[in-house]
A and B are shown apart, each in its own frame.
Chain A
Amino acid sequence: MHTILLVLLMSTLFTGCNNIFSSSDKPIGNAQILSAARAAFDKGNYDEARNLYQQLPDDEGDIKKSESAFLIMTQQDVSMMTLIEFVGNKANGQALTKLAEHLASGAGEARRLALYEAYTQHKTITDTNLKGFVQFTTSLALLAEVLAEAASTDGILRKTNLVNSASCSIAHIETTDCDLAPTSRMTNNVSYDIKTHSPTGAQPTVDEIYYLLRSAVESLALLSPNGDFGSTYGVFVDILDKVGILKPSTDPLIARALLGQLVARDGFDIGE
């Protein structure tokens, strides 16, 4: 008995994992609930964190929604650290491709819908900067997820997972090389605006890519009306300019225009 007590005491002493008051010290008030939610988030107790965020009242709405979005992203393996990691180093010129490949395992409708829930959080955030930031990051995460669903079974996102031929380039952008590949897991048979429709369905659609790009442009414009965000903003806008404002559409030529830009254009260069 004494040995057991001693082991328990020593393990508590050196791990610091137990607290004699924790069962009676419940968070009260917004500050404590928020602090507890962040603590649970840090410790990877995502369900607990989510419950605590949901307890926050509406006057803490911006924090509640933005951090709930980050929480969902983290649960879906797109934490902010993941974004920074891939954008910062692993990309080597193909950030979105690498992020999509990171998500290839487990990609599918369930993850798409979960990330869509994160994406919708920005809609009612009132602080302009926070709203733009959440919109941009969740658009990026959802875009990577949609592309991940198109990746090959070996987890590599190839150009031919999207378009007819790896020869799709700026020079061939008007040719069938850049048509949606018949073997692609993506479809162009349905069309809807992701801002108002949940992206349900077994297959991701080309339109989802279009609207997520447009959402990213909106968020960048929201954050920087003067275009202070460098060439990324310009690349997004250029692509959308070239695709036109014909959406929503199931027109295969629109899909060709969009996919051609994504696959061939310097600044995206999606697919290996």
Chain B
Amino acid sequence: MKNQTCWITTFCLLAPLLFTHRAWSLDQIIRPYQSIRSSSMGGVSLTTGLYDENFFGNPARALENPENRFTLVEVMAEVSKDLINDIKELTGDGDFYTKMSSTAGTNNHARAQTSMPALYIAPKDGKWGFGFGVFMSTQADVDLRNSFQINPTVYSDIGPAITIARKFLDDNSLGLGVTAHAAYRLATNQSFTFIDIIKGKSLNASNIAGQGSHIDFDFGATYRLPLELNWLNLTAGFAMNNIQGGKYEGQQFKPVKDVTGTPPAQPRTYGFGISAKFGEFSGFTDTLVALEVRDIGNNTNGSNYRLLHMGAETRFLGIFIPRIGFNQGYLGGGLGIDLKFLTLDIATYTEEMALNVGRLSDRRYAAKIALQF
């Protein structure tokens, strides 16, 4: 036993030194909020977003909310395919170290998200749109990489947001909107080793996390292109998010005692795109197709293909909403069931974890339930 302790001690002391050499991380794009509708439509939202999507997408889209709404409950959960497999592995028979080593090279991702309560006032025939909501999103990724890195990233964001949008021009074709976020973030801000995990070391938040809060703003615009077609509307959109740089500084709200570091920033991003909305045909309504470029500014060293999003949605029999899309080139899809007061959504999509698409995919599954009036 003394022998074993001796070897373990050596490894435990050696391994952390490796990680001081360079800060490593998975290369996925971190987003503070991920709507399930957008996920199943290939990540588009700047020209398609409705209700909660617009608080972190394009504020001008608040003008497209079809009805007033009060959301009492809205809960979304998301896990990666690898996490499902690894949980089976980790809870199976065998010793802990063997089971843990068998998960190497896979990303264990999970996200829990709420957007409630929330109130939306649709413009209908007026010029103003409005939204207010309280959001919480926590996402975690843990990946024991074969190249001997560990990537534990945990982001937890919470706070209210308020959106105001207005129509302009004689034909109301131009929409402008702004969102103000008051957000608190608690997140990991440094790496630690899997040796720490093996040892069962308490990963005290004060050692590995930072916290901070800020008030930041989004700006967005939409413009309905002047087409003389009654079966097709083309809308271009643009948004700038986290105008102040998303640094989580400037506010003194730091509720977790002993956590003194600052969390990673959520950088200012730009995005634009175009969507086509079709008139009713063969029983299908609310049919949308969109192409967007998003996350410009939040893609350090990544290829431009990671910014590309394409998606489509339609409504069938009034309550079924099938969706499909390409997120960064990966096919995804989902289904929504709209029962007026109760909506259910499921989605699957793939996120790129490397700097070029097609290199390291992370397949994810998500589900949401919402109760609204």
Fill in one digit per residue for A77-101: 1 if any B CB lies within 8 Å of its CB, else 0.
Answer: 0011111110111111111000000
Closest B residue to A137 using CB positions: B14
Closest A residue to B96 using CB positions: A89
Closest A residue to B19 using CB positions: A129
Flag the segment in A19-27, A145-153, A203-211 that touches B: A19-27
Q: How far is the CA of A205 from the CA of B348 in the complex (A)?
A: 56
Give the distance to chain B from A219, nearest Cβ to Cβ, in Å: 9
Q: How far is the CA of A20 from the CA of B149 in the complex (A)?
A: 29
Q: How far is the CA of A129 from the CA of B198 in the complex (A)?
A: 21
24 intermolecular pairs with C-beta atoms under 8 Å apart: A13-B331, A16-B363, A19-B330, A20-B331, A22-B357, A22-B359, A23-B358, A25-B305, A27-B355, A32-B355, A35-B354, A35-B355, A36-B355, A38-B354, A43-B360, A62-B21, A83-B11, A87-B11, A88-B198, A89-B96, A129-B17, A130-B18, A137-B14, A229-B9
Flag the segment in A165-173, A244-252, A253-261, A262-270 that touches B: A262-270
Q: Are B354 and A20 in contact (CB under 8 A)?
A: no
B contact set with A: CB distance below 8 Å: 1-4, 6-11, 13-15, 17-18, 20-22, 27, 81, 95-98, 100-102, 104-106, 143-149, 194-195, 198, 301-303, 305, 308, 326, 328-333, 348-350, 352-363
Closest 8 CB pairs of A and B: A22-B358, A81-B101, A19-B358, A16-B363, A39-B360, A31-B301, A16-B350, A42-B105
A contact set with B: CB distance below 8 Å: 9, 12-29, 31-32, 35-44, 62-63, 66-67, 70-71, 74, 79-85, 87-95, 127, 129-130, 132-133, 136-137, 220, 223-224, 228-233, 235, 266-269
Chain B residues in 8 Å Cβ range of A87: 4, 7-8, 11
Give the distance to chain B from A127, nearest Cβ to Cβ, in Å: 5
Q: Are B3 and A93 in contact (CB under 8 A)?
A: yes
Q: Are B356 and A27 in contact (CB under 8 A)?
A: yes
Q: Are B10 and A232 in contact (CB under 8 A)?
A: yes
Q: Are A25 and B303 in contact (CB under 8 A)?
A: yes
Q: Are A230 and B17 in contact (CB under 8 A)?
A: no
Q: Are A15 and B363 in contact (CB under 8 A)?
A: yes
Q: How far is the CA of A42 from the CA of B149 in the complex (A)?
A: 11
Give the distance to chain A from B357, nearest Cβ to Cβ, in Å: 5
Give the distance to chain B from A196, nearest Cβ to Cβ, in Å: 25
Closest A residue to B302 using CB positions: A32
Give the distance to chain A from B345, nearest Cβ to Cβ, in Å: 16
Give the distance to chain A from B2, nearest Cβ to Cβ, in Å: 7
Known A18-B331, A42-B145, A84-B101; contact A95-B359, beta-carbon cutoff 8 A: no
Q: How far is the CA of A57 from the CA of B201 in the complex (A)?
A: 37
Q: Are B331 and A12 in contact (CB under 8 A)?
A: yes
Known A13-B333, A20-B326, A224-B13; contact A93-B146, beta-carbon cutoff 8 A: no
Q: Are A129 and B18 in contact (CB under 8 A)?
A: yes
Chain A residues in 8 Å Cβ range of B146: 38, 41-42, 44, 70, 74, 79-81
